Amino acid sequence: MSYPNWLSQRAYLNGSRMALSFENEKWSFAEIHKIAVDYAGSMASFGITADSRVAILAKSHPESVFVMYACLHAGCEMVMLNDRLSAVELGYQLADSEAGYLLVDDELQEKIDFGNKILFGEIKNAEKADFIPSAEWSEDRTISIMYTSGTTGYPKGVRQTAQNHFSSAVSSALNIGISPDDVWLCVMPLFHISGFSILMRSLVYGMGVQLHPKFDAEACAIELGAGTVTHMSVVAVTLERILNQLETQSLEVSPKFKSMLAGGGPVPVSYIERAEKFGISVLQTYGMTETSSQTTTLQPADAKRKIGSSGKPLFLYQIKIGNDAPAGEKAEIQIRGPQVTAGYIGKYAERKVQEDGWFHTGDIGYLDAEGFLFVVDRRSDLIVSGGENIYPAEIEKVLLGHPAVLEAGVCGVADDKWGEVPAAYVVLKERVEQQELMEFCQTQLASYKVPKRIQKVEALPRNASNKLLRRELKTWN
């Protein structure tokens, strides 16, 4: 099976519609298509062809989008690099992926040395060569390669095909619906699946993207009130920061804003309830790099009834717990569907993606009696204390329920008696004694789950998508 070239098709169908906005500039699908064709011609003059694998190191701005879309036209594979990584970490991913070229944002050119390094400025200013993009894409074409965060061992390079991205976009649309006036506020990094999938939805839906260089809570709150955007993607911490801006500045949210998709881990119920006061529908999702974004999402109709759930599988997907565990029993989440990666590259190229047709996620969760998924925690973050399983997210959720706590992170620390015990780190809104937090936890948690210490910190370690990095918390002990 093949697809029509998404960018060419969208320019043909809705050429005058807004495709991208950034600060005070806007580009239509027709305009962005022409820029991408020109850039693809420039890249061809540097030797980049449909057989090339190119790495991209960039900030979130229009030039990055133009280069990515040019790569779509050129037919090459994109290795998406995180600009926050060290030169050593980037070097590993460049070597592991065997990228033939590095396309780099001009302001990041000193970040790492590489043989075939081409600056965005060079692509933009090169003499434009005639270029005719392919009219069709095969469904098994690898569009993007993203490296997992590396919670265990080395990061793994995950292939994401045209079929993966298309099924993800279509399944999401069947869940939340689409409209010609939809505009997605994109504050997620484009090298991450949560950001890149917004670009893919844009092409498949004909939807506009309002791109921000980075997350800014005040700017997001203002946009929600201005009526210029209809959707956005968040994680728990960014949602809370937006809510705080709306509350402290007494702002209102435009009725044109439809919903937020919340990923990256469970969202505290208190955040969802605060959002409801502004008319914001927060739809929890569950997905990962290997599934090209969401696999389950809570439908708007179930948002209030199933607070805390990540919903049911999107239309094309299936999910099960362990070996078909009964309702309420916690075990590993397993996934099947056309969104699951075709495989890994490099060091993990031989690793099987699926066992018996199912992708084993390494996450722990359960299904309730109606089949709604509740994600408990990462299996790799599990704390085993005296034979009891303790899930850090459960403790974090309790701590976040205290009015003085702004952020919370929990990890296991070595203990001579129990093997491991939980330790907590909190960012506070206001002064509170550790003993008060301990007592608060004791009212809501079994004694073995209560953190053995709670330490105040200025900030918690997070990745570029603001997801908590518990493995780094362990190094603080």
In a domain, 257, yes or no: yes
**393 and 363 housed in the same domain:** no
Chosen domain end from 326, 358, 379: 379
**345 and 404 housed in the same domain:** no
In a domain, 41, yes or no: yes
**347 and 472 housed in the same domain:** no
In a domain, 58, yes or no: yes
**331 and 410 housed in the same domain:** no
**391 and 372 housed in the same domain:** no
The pLDDT score that the predictor gives to residue 149 is: 62
- Report the mean per-residue pLDDT for the chain: 93
Tokens encoding 129: 């060569």
Higher pLDDT pick, 426 / 474: 426
**387 and 398 housed in the same domain:** yes
pLDDT in tens, 293-313: 999 998 877 877 888 899 999
Chosen domain end from 354, 379, 404: 379
In a domain, 148, yes or no: no
**50 and 87 housed in the same domain:** yes
**124 and 180 housed in the same domain:** no
What is the average per-residue pLDDT within 368-381?
Answer: 88
**278 and 134 housed in the same domain:** no
**191 and 82 housed in the same domain:** no
Q: Domain containing 424 — which CATH number?
A: 3.30.300.30
pLDDT in tens, 231-281: 999 988 899 999 999 999 999 999 999 999 998 777 888 888 899 999 999
How far apart are alpha carbons 292 and 338 in whole angstroms?
10
In a domain, 158, yes or no: no
In a domain, 421, yes or no: yes
The total number of structural domains that make up the chain: 3
The pLDDT score that the predictor gives to residue 152 is: 47
- pTM assigned to the model: 0.86
In a domain, 160, yes or no: no
**268 and 184 housed in the same domain:** yes
Taking alpha carbons only, the member of 313, 268, 260 closest to residue 291 is 313
Q: Which domain holds residue 399?
A: 382-476
**134 and 274 housed in the same domain:** no
In a domain, 80, yes or no: yes
Q: Domain containing 324 — which CATH number?
A: 3.40.50.12780
How far apart are alpha carbons 459 and 132 in whole angstroms?
49
